[in-house]
Structure 1
Amino acid sequence: LRLFVLGGRVIAAMRRVASIWKTNISLGATPVQYKPTGEIEDLAVKASEVIGCEVSGVDILESDRGPFIVELNSQPGWRGLQTVTDVNIAGEIIDYVIARIKDWERK
């Protein structure tokens, strides 16, 4: 799973399907739309908060023992994710950055 976290919330998510164990889109995996559970969303958001990352791609594996974070990317790609979501990810990032700048200017 790849969850895209922006400013403390998950804005988009996908499942990556591959014929090999590596599920990178760049290696030929296919992105599939995915609606994460509250537990998975909370895990991704908390992981991002723990390391102080406002924009992140959190990779999670599901198992019989629950979800596991595999990787947290502080500069996540979203080309594959953008193909399976209606969310304008670049637009969301721009809006978030503008809001953060305005907050900073008010201080």
Structure 2
Amino acid sequence: MITMVKGAPLVIKLLEGTQGIGVVLAETNQAAESVIQAFMGMKANIMVQEYIKEARGADIRCFVIGDKVVASMKRQAADGEFRSNLHRGGTASVIRITPEERSTAIRAAKAMGLRVAGVDLLRSNHGPVIMEVNSSPGLQGIENATGKDIAGMIIEHIERNAMPARKAPPKPKG
């Protein structure tokens, strides 16, 4: 796993973690091996990711509904922290995403079979990198940052796409 992400530094995540809990930055291969062994010894499901230094503790949350990014925000980690989660002291602000970032977020949600998703991207030297596709993203942070009613947009999407079209009752003959 360490070799697959080109070695340390790298990020190790518990798959069951939320809000940045269970996310570790391993700065050396030896530290990575120790953390992986510890998590595996606890029979935890983990994922190993390349550390994108040039992101400088920032990520982009794209909120996808259907085949559209309806909102996006930049999350910036607190000083001395690499995790940009708002629950870890990060801040959120509105951001304009590039067409490539928009396309990447939509394709990521579709690849996971999701009609509603929070897609977290990092800006890397080689283009947008998907960090996570969240099937149950929180709404509070993105609604506060963007001023958009994301919950209302989700409800509208469900009403448009999940409800069968109503047919008029048959006209009586005669």
How is 1:84-99 mapped onto 2 (pairs within 5 angstroms)?
Answer: 84-99=145-160
The answer on 1:82 being equivalent to 2:153 is: no
Among 16, 19, 24, the residue aligned to 2:75: 16
Indicate the SS of the match to 1:42.
helix
Q: TM-score, normalised by structure 1?
A: 0.92
The answer on 1:66 being equivalent to 2:127 is: yes
Among 34, 45, 59, the residue aligned to 2:106: 45
Q: Residues of 2 paired with 1:96 and 1:65: CA distance? A: 33
Between the aligned residues of both structures, percent identity stands at: 36
Indicate the SS of the match to 1:15.
strand
Across the aligned residues of Structure 1 and Structure 2, the Cα RMSD in angstroms comes to 1.3
Among 55, 64, 83, the residue aligned to 1:5: 64
Indicate the SS of the match to 1:94.
helix
Give the superposition deviation at 1:100.
1.5
Give the superposition deviation at 1:9.
0.5
- Larger RCO (alpha carbons 8 Å, 6+ apart): 1
Indicate the SS of the match to 1:67.
strand
Larger Rg: 2
**1:56 alignment partner in structure 2:** 117
Indicate the SS of the match to 1:95.
helix
Give the superposition deviation at 1:43.
0.1
Q: Show CA shifts across 1:61-98 (max 9, x none).
A: 11111110010000011211111213210110111111
Q: Show CA shifts across 1:18-44 (max 9, x none).
A: 121001111110001111111100000
Q: Which runs of 5+ in 2 are unaligned?
A: 1-59, 167-174
Q: Show CA shifts across 1:29-60 (max 9, x none).
A: 00011111111000000011111100000010
Query: How many matched pairs?
Result: 105
Q: Is the 8 A contact 2:64 2:105 kept in 1?
A: yes
Q: Residues of 1 paired with 2:165 and 2:143: CA distance? A: 33
